[in-house]
Copies of this chain bind each other. A is one copy, B any other.
Amino acid sequence: MSEYRHDLVTGQWVIVASNRGERPDEFVETVFERINQDCPFCSGREDDTPPEVARYQLRRTKGWQVRVVPNKYPAVTTSAPPPPPTLSLPAQSGFGVHEVVIESPEHVTSLTELSAEATTLVFRAYADRLAALRKRGDLAYGVVFKNVGASAGASLEHVHSQVLATALVPPPIEQRLARWQQEFQRTDSSVLLRFIQEELAQPQRVIQQTDNFAAVCPFASRVPYEMRIVPLAPRVYFEQSTAAELDELAKLVRDVLTRLEQITNRMAYNLIIHTAPFDSAPHDYYHWHIEILPRLTRAAGFEWGTGCFINPLTPENAAQRLRDA
């Protein structure tokens, strides 16, 4: 089976080629091999990170459960000159904030090892940081992402995420916003709402559903076991989620990650929280959503060359396996 599929949400294309998964593979890869017992994110090592921006505690406990610190090796910094209001070709300084969310005082490597209460606290930290960075006034865009495993770009295994905010909306995100806005004007319905309605109408790709959220393998999944987590009633800003919503969402994310880990132990993945830009323009056509991209396959020459993905596992199959896990 070989089929082109288009994703409404990302605008990207994929060739779903299910026979590719049968290829022989000569290579073995060690995804996790810890060489440094000396983890700067563990409790007792607080002085090894820059001073903390925020800390969270569990009820009835002493000591921190979640810490937010500036990234010691930032991709963007506030020491760069503030940029002009629009991006000018061909280059411009990278003004922004890059933080790390340390998600446990213990040396734990997966969100699934945290208690439900501790996981909720992590999502509380994400929402709070996005809200605080939005409030600064000198930043235009923020994203939360989690890299798990070396194949997913992580350099430390201690459970953590990153918050990155920039003074300019990244141009590919601008393009996505423009596309969502056009679709909104053309169809009188939001891209994310259409995505949810289409996936729920034929629930073969739905993994798990709660009162307010659904986790699905998108129709045009770019990689095996790609998952998208969406609120059933789309909202613009992730950081405006209520405490009850964050609690329900945290549990759902922990559940689907547990499913993923049951299929392949220690699978590397990226998790991304998309929310609307920080500027004051109305973003009623854009809605927050979460992407989870397992990194079992590698983008190769075809993907780099053409911008199209080749996915050797149909999302219908992936969702079935995740439901059964």
Q: Is A215 an interface residue (CB 8 A)?
A: no
Q: Within the assembled complex, what's the spacing in Å between the Cα atoms of A304 and B269?
A: 11
A5 at the interface (CB under 8 A from B): yes
Q: Are A173 and B307 closer than 8 Å at their CB atoms?
A: yes
**Contact: B24 with A33, CB < 8 Å?**
no
Q: Is the pair A94, B4 in contact by a Cβ cutoff of 8 Å?
A: yes
> Is the CB–CB distance between B301 and A162 below 8 Å?
yes
Q: What number of A residues sit within 8 Å (CB to CB) of B?
A: 89
Tell me, in angstroms, the Cα distance from A146 to B256 when the chains sit together. Answer: 35
Contact of A93 among B3, B147, B156, B168 (CB under 8 A): B3
Residues of B within 8 A of A30 (CB): 28-30
B94–A2 CB distance below 8 A: yes
> A12 to B274, alpha carbons, bound, how many Å?
20
Instruction: Please tell me if A157 contacts chain B, counting CB pairs below 8 Å.
Output: yes
How far, in angstroms, from A157 to B308 measured CA to CA in the complex? 24
- Please give the count of copies of this chain that the complex contains: 2
| CB 8 Å contact bits of A94-114 with B (1 = contact, 0 = none) | 101000000000000000000
Alpha-carbon gap, A23 to B74, bound state (A): 10
Write out the residue numbers on chain B whose beta carbons fall within 8 Å of the beta carbon of A16. 94
In the complex, are the beta carbons of B146 and A91 less than 8 A apart?
no
- B28 touching A35 by the CB < 8 A rule? yes
Q: Which residues of B contact A298 (CB under 8 A)?
A: 150-153, 295
> A239 interface residue, CB < 8 Å from B?
no
In the complex, what residue of chain B is closest to A305 when comparing beta carbons?
A: B272
Q: Which 3 A-B pairs have the closest CB atoms?
A: A153-B300, A145-B301, A172-B307
